[in-house]
C-alpha cells in the first residue's frame, strides 16, 4: 500500500507550485501597500546586463552541477505553468484597470493595480517567472535537439520580453515638453515636472492644428446641473433640420454655424479667435403647445456659453466638442546644425535621434486656437530586445503549426 503524498513533500506538483506563485503575488501587494512604488530601485546599464549574464551563468551552473529536488522542481512544467498563470492574471488586471491614480479607489492604487509595470507585484512575479523559465530553458537546451526548437523559441522569447521590460525599464526615459509657437526649447520634464532635463536637440512649434467632432445638444436639469438622458435616448445632433423629442419638448435645429461670433442679438459666421459653435433652436412643449426659441452655444475663452431656458427646471445646452484629431508641425534643430521639419499627430509619432516624440496634448483652455503643443519624448534602448523576443515566440508558434501539418 502506497503512502499518500503530503503537501511540501518532494516532488512538488501543481498544489505547491500555485501556492508559492500566489504567495509571491500577495507578498508583492503587501509590500506595495505598506512601502509604495517610489521605493523600487531597478538597475540601469550596464548593471542590468551583468545581472542577466549572471542569471544564465547561475542557471547553467546549478543545472550541470547541483542535483537536488528543488532544482528539478524549478525546471518543471508545474512551476512554469503556475508562474505563467499568476503573471498572466496580473497582466490581465492591468488591461482591465485604468493605469492612472486619478478617479480610482485608494486601495486599488495602494496595492499597485493602477501602475502595474512600476509596482512590487509586477517586479516580484516577473523576476520569479524569469527564474523559472531560466531553469526550464536550461534543462531543455542541453543537449540541443531539433525537436526542442519550438520550446526554446517560445520560452526563450518570453524570457527576453520579460527581461527587457523589467530589467531594461531603468534605461527607458519618458519625458514631456511644452512647445510654444515661435519659441525654441530643449528643456523637458519628467511625469511630475519635478526634474528638468536638457535634450540633445531643440524643438520649435511651427503650427498646431485641431479637428473637432460636431457638438451635441442636451436637456439640462437646472436644479441638479446634469443632463437628462433617459435609457435608450441620445443627445441631439447638431445638424440643420434635425428634429427630436426630448422629455416633453420637441426640438428643431433651424440654423447651425460651426464658427461664429455674436452680433447684437444674433450670431454670424466668423473665423475670428474665440468663435463658437452656434445653433438656433426652436422648442415646442408637446403638452401645452408653448414655444421657445433662441441661440445655444458652447462658449469659448472669449464668450460665455448661451442656453435656451425652456421652463423653471429645464434648458437646452450644448456640449463641449471633443477633439477628432490634433497635430503639430515642428522644426527640429540638431546638435550638428542640421534643421528638419517633422509632423506628428496622435498615434503617429516621429523619431529624432534615439528618441520618439508623441503628440499627447495642448492648451485646452484655448481649444482649437491653442498656440501650445504638449509632446511626450520617449527613449527605450531595450525595445529591440522586446521585438526579438516577440519574433522568437512567433517563429516558435509557426514551427509548431508546421510540424503539426507535416505529421498529418
Q: What are the tens digits of pLDDT across the range 79-88?
A: 999 999 999 9
What confidence category does residue 329 fall into, taking pLDDT thresholds of 50, 70 and 90? very high
Q: Is the pLDDT of residue 143 over 80?
A: no
Q: What is the pLDDT of residues 199-248, one digit of tens each?
A: 999 999 999 999 988 899 998 988 888 888 766 677 888 889 889 888 88
Between 125 and 167, the more confident residue is 125
Q: What is the pLDDT of residues 89-140, one digit of tens each?
A: 999 999 888 887 665 668 888 898 988 888 899 999 999 999 999 999 888 8
pLDDT > 70 fraction of the chain, expressed in percent and rounded: 93
Exposed (0-12), middle (13-18) or buried (19+): which is 378, by Cβ within 10 Å? middle
What confidence category does residue 159 fall into, taking pLDDT thresholds of 50, 70 and 90? very high
Of the candidates 14, 155, 154, 142, the one whose C-alpha atom is nearest the C-alpha of residue 73 is: 14
Backbone φ, ψ for residue 53 (5° rounding): -65, -40
Residue 372: all three cell numbers together: 501650445
Per-residue pLDDT, 105: 66
Per-residue pLDDT, 308: 94
Q: Whole-angstrom Cα distance, residue 383 to residue 297?
A: 47
Three state DSSP letters for the chain:
CCCCCCCCCCCCCHHHHHHHHHHHHHHHHHHHHHCCHHHCCCCCCCHHHHHHHHHHHHHHHHHHHCCCHHHHHHCCHHHHHHHHHHHHHHHHHHHHCCCCCCCCCHHHHHCCCCCHHHCHHHHHHHHHHHHHHHHHHHHHHCCCCHHHHHHHHHHHHHHHHHHHHHCCHHHCEEEEEEEEECCEEEEEECCCCCCEEEEEEEEEEEEEEEEECCCEEEEEECCCCCECCCCCCCCEECCCCCEEEECCEEEEEEEEEEEEEEECCEEEECCCCCCEEEEEEEEEECCCCCEEEEEEECCCCCCCCCCEECCCCEEEEECCCCEEEEEEEEEEECCCCCEEEEEEECCECEEECCEEEEEEEECCCCHHHCCEEEEEEEECCCHHHHHHHHHHHHHHHHHHHHHHHHHC
Please, what is the average pLDDT of the chain?
88
pTM: 0.72
What confidence category does residue 270 fall into, taking pLDDT thresholds of 50, 70 and 90? very high
Q: Is the pLDDT of residue 408 over 60?
A: no
Per-residue pLDDT, 38: 61
Per-residue pLDDT, 107: 86
* Arithmetic mean of pLDDT, 158-166: 89
Per-residue pLDDT, 2: 57
* Cβ neighbour number for residue 43 with a 10 Å cutoff: 16
Q: What is the pLDDT of residues 272-319, one digit of tens each?
A: 988 999 999 999 999 888 999 999 999 888 889 999 999 888 999 999
* Arithmetic mean of pLDDT, 335-339: 93
pLDDT > 90 fraction of the chain, expressed in percent and rounded: 49
Residue 283 and residue 269 in contact, taking contact as beta carbons nearer than 8 Å? no
* Arithmetic mean of pLDDT, 346-369: 92
Q: Is the pLDDT of residue 40 over 80?
A: no
Q: Is the pLDDT of residue 36 over 80?
A: no
Q: Is the pLDDT of residue 39 over 70?
A: no
Per-residue pLDDT, 370: 92
Amino acid at each position: 500500500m502506497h503512502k499518500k503524498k503530503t503537501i511540501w513533500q518532494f516532488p512538488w506538483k501543481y498544489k505547491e507550485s500555485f501556492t508559492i506563485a500566489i504567495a509571491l503575488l500577495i507578498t508583492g501587494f503587501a509590500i506595495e501597500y505598506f512601502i509604495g512604488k517610489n521605493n523600487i530601485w531597478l538597475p540601469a546599464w550596464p548593471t542590468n546586463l551583468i545581472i542577466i549574464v549572471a542569471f544564465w551563468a547561475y542557471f547553467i551552473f546549478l543545472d550541470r552541477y547541483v542535483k537536488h529536488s528543488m532544482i528539478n522542481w524549478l525546471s518543471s512544467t508545474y512551476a512554469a505553468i503556475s508562474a505563467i498563470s499568476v503573471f498572466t492574471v496580473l497582466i490581465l488586471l492591468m488591461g482591465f484597470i485604468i493605469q492612472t491614480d486619478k478617479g480610482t479607489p485608494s486601495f486599488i492604487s495602494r496595492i499597485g493595480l493602477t501602475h502595474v509595470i512600476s509596482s512590487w507585484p509586477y517586479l516580484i512575479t516577473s523576476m520569479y517567472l524569469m527564474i523559472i523559465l531560466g531553469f526550464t530553458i536550461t534543462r531543455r537546451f542541453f543537449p540541443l535537439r531539433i525537436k526542442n526548437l519550438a520550446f526554446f523559441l517560445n520560452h526563450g522569447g518570453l524570457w527576453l520580453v520579460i527581461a527587457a521590460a523589467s530589467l531594461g525599464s531603468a534605461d527607458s526615459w519618458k519625458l514631456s515638453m511644452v512647445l510654444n509657437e515661435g519659441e525654441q526649447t530643449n528643456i523637458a520634464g519628467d511625469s511630475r515636472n519635478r526634474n528638468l532635463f536638457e535634450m540633445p536637440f531643440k524643438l520649435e512649434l511651427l503650427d498646431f492644428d485641431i479637428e473637432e467632432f460636431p457638438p451635441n445638444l442636451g436637456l439640462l436639469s437646472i436644479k441638479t446641473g446634469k443632463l437628462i438622458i433617459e435609457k435608450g435616448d441620445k443627445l441631439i445632433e447638431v445638424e440643420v433640420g434635425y428634429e427630436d423629442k426630448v422629455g416633453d419638448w420637441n426640438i428643431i435645429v433651424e440654423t447651425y454655424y460651426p464658427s461664429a461670433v455674436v452680433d447684437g442679438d444674433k450670431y454670424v459666421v466668423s473665423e475670428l479667435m474665440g468663435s463658437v459653435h452656434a445653433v438656433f433652436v426652436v422648442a415646442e412643449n408637446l403638452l401645452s403647445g408653448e414655444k421657445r426659441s433662441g441661440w445655444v452655444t458652447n462658449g469659448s475663452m472669449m464668450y460665455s456659453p448661451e442656453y435656451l431656458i425652456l421652463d423653471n427646471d429645464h434648458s437646452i445646452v450644448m456640449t463641449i466638442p471633443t477633439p477628432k484629431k490634433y497635430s503639430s508641425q515642428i522644426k527640429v534643430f540638431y546638435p550638428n546644425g542640421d534643421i528638419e521639419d517633422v509632423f506628428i499627430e496622435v498615434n503617429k509619432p516621429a523619431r529624432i535621434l534615439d528618441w520618439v516624440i508623441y503628440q499627447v496634448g495642448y492648451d485646452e483652455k484655448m481649444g482649437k486656437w491653442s498656440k501650445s503643443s504638449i509632446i511626450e519624448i520617449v527613449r527605450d534602448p531595450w525595445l529591440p530586445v522586446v521585438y526579438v523576443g516577440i519574433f522568437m515566440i512567433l517563429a516558435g508558434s509557426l514551427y509548431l503549426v508546421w510540424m503539426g501539418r507535416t505529421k498529418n
